[in-house]
């Protein structure tokens, strides 16, 4: 068989595949919808919930709606939500962007935002024995920014620590990122030197305290205005990144827990001890910024390059484990981990909370009260 016919048919096959891909993407885009346009009439048992039917800015798309109060089935728990804490990715979900691939191409599939909550059990299904009405709880459930939610019996929810507020409790599930990144990926042990880059943010404030609870010697990196906060959380040393570059010091670390990814592979490797681990836990702040793309690429390239080095740069996924939520609850109850909630907004000011989140320089955690 001659080469020219093979090339011609190969080109045609690639062209057909490309056209089909475009058509499939186009159809998927226009079929992507949500329930905002469904005409269900006035709710019989109304409750307030935050909804966003389109992607866009917080002021434009976040609205308070009156929707039907959910009814738990035999294997669900009805929770009266008291507070919701925002995560770094919540701003990206609102805007769409590349998140459309996960959350809906044309419109968001889940029209109620928020996931980390605390509240009080209102009612339980007949098969639920773990909780009873009146129990104070915290957990993770998509669509939490509403007065009531139903949580599966097998869902991510545990009892709330008695010594923290509902706003603080709602922020605790964020610490799953800190706990699992330090314990499972970084394998932090007592006596090790651990550096937290981005120590004053929502995940970083928990990471400082959890690393200390593991017995590590902790160095926190943050800006000038956040030095006192990070010191108050128990950091042994705090570096002001506006005045000092930690990658140029003589100090060496067993683990770098990097929530910013603003240094090169070589720079971070230089300050790791032989065989050390850099946990790639974030790209700095919420929302899209001019440096976001380069930092995402940096995460990918450094993790590949480290495969050929003794020092490892590792990403990880988060497991919404009730066992780990229980560990975090116990740390909070013992006083070893205090949620650093620095701003609290009422439900009516949810858009303002999201706008603050999108600045990318949030100190500690943001909570929204649902009263």
Residue 119 sits in a domain whose CATH number is 3.90.180.10
In a domain, 182, yes or no: yes
pLDDT digits (tens, 9 = 90+) for 73-130: 999 999 999 999 999 888 777 877 666 766 777 788 888 999 999 999 999 999 999 9
In a domain, 160, yes or no: yes
Per-residue confidence of the chain (371 residues) as pLDDT tens digits?
456 666 566 666 666 666 665 655 555 454 556 677 666 678 899 999 999 999 999 999 999 999 999 999 999 999 999 999 999 888 777 877 666 766 777 788 888 999 999 999 999 999 999 999 999 999 999 999 999 999 999 999 999 999 999 999 999 999 999 999 999 999 999 999 999 999 999 999 999 999 999 999 999 999 999 999 999 999 999 999 999 999 999 999 999 999 999 999 999 999 999 999 999 998 876 655 667 677 778 788 888 888 889 999 999 999 999 999 999 999 999 999 999 999 999 999 999 999 999 887 889 999 999 98
**How far apart are the C-alpha atoms of 5 and 8, rounded to whole Å?**
5
Q: How many Cβ atoms sit within 10 Å of the Cβ of residue 212?
A: 18
Contact between 66 and 43 under an 8 Å Cβ cutoff? The reply is yes
Q: Which CATH number goes with the domain that contains 308?
A: 3.40.50.720
At 20 the pLDDT is 64
Angle at which helices 322-333 and 202-213 cross, to 10°: 80
Q: Which two tokens stand for residue 351?
A: 């858009």
At 295 the pLDDT is 75
In a domain, 232, yes or no: yes
Whether residue 306 sits in one domain with residue 189: yes
At 361 the pLDDT is 81
At 223 the pLDDT is 96
In a domain, 98, yes or no: yes
Q: What is the pTM of this model?
A: 0.88
- DSSP output for 81-116: EEEEE--TTHHHHHH-GGGHHHH-SSS-SS-S---E
Whether residue 236 sits in one domain with residue 330: no
In a domain, 36, yes or no: no
φ and ψ at 363, to 5 degrees? -90, 120
At 308 the pLDDT is 87
Q: With CA atoms as reference, report the closest residue to 157 among 90, 79, 228.
A: 79
| DSSP H/E element including 83 | strand 76-85
Whether residue 354 sits in one domain with residue 272: no
At 6 the pLDDT is 61
Whether residue 286 sits in one domain with residue 197: yes
At 200 the pLDDT is 96
């Amino acid at each position: 068989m001659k080469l020219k016919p093979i090339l011609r048919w190969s080109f045609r096959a690639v062209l057909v595949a490309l056209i089909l891909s475009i058509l499939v993407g186009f159809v998927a885009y226009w079929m992507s919808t949500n329930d905002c346009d469904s005409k269900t009439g006035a709710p019989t048992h109304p409750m307030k919930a935050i909804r966003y039917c389109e992607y866009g800015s917080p002021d434009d798309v976040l609205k308070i709606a009156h929707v039907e109060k959910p009814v738990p089935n035999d294997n669900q728990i009805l929770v009266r939500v008291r507070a919701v804490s925002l995560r770094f990715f919540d701003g990206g979900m609102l805007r769409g962007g590349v998140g459309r691939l996960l959350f809906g191409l044309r419109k968001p599939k889940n029209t109620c935002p928020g996931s980390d909550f605390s509240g009080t059990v209102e009612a339980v299904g007949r098969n639920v024995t773990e909780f009873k009405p009146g129990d104070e709880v915290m957990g993770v459930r998509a669509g939490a920014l509403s007065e009531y939610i139903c949580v599966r019996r097998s869902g991510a929810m545990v009892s709330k620590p008695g010594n923290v507020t509902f706003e603080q409790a709602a922020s605790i599930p964020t610490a799953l990122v800190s706990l699992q990144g330090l314990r499972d990926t970084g394998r932090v042990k007592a006596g090790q030197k651990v550096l937290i880059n981005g120590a004053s943010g929502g995940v970083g404030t928990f990471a400082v305290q959890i690393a200390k609870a593991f017995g590590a010697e902790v160095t926190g990196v943050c800006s000038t205005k956040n030095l006192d906060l990070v010191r108050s959380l128990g950091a042994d040393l705090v570096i002001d990144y506006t005045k000092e570059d930690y990658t140029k010091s003589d100090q060496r670390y067993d683990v770098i827990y990097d929530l910013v990814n603003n240094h090169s592979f070589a720079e971070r490797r230089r300050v790791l001890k032989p065989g050390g681990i850099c946990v790639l836990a974030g790209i700095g702040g919420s929302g899209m910024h001019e440096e976001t793309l380069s930092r995402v690429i940096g995460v990918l390239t450094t993790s590949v390059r480290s495969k050929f080095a003794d020092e490892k740069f590792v990403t990880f996924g988060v497991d919404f484990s009730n066992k780990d939520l229980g560990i975090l609850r116990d740390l909070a109850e013992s006083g070893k981990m205090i949620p650093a909630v620095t701003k609290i907004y009422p439900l009516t000011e949810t858009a303002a909370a999201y706008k603050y989140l999108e600045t990318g320089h949030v100190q500690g955690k943001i909570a929204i009260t649902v009263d």
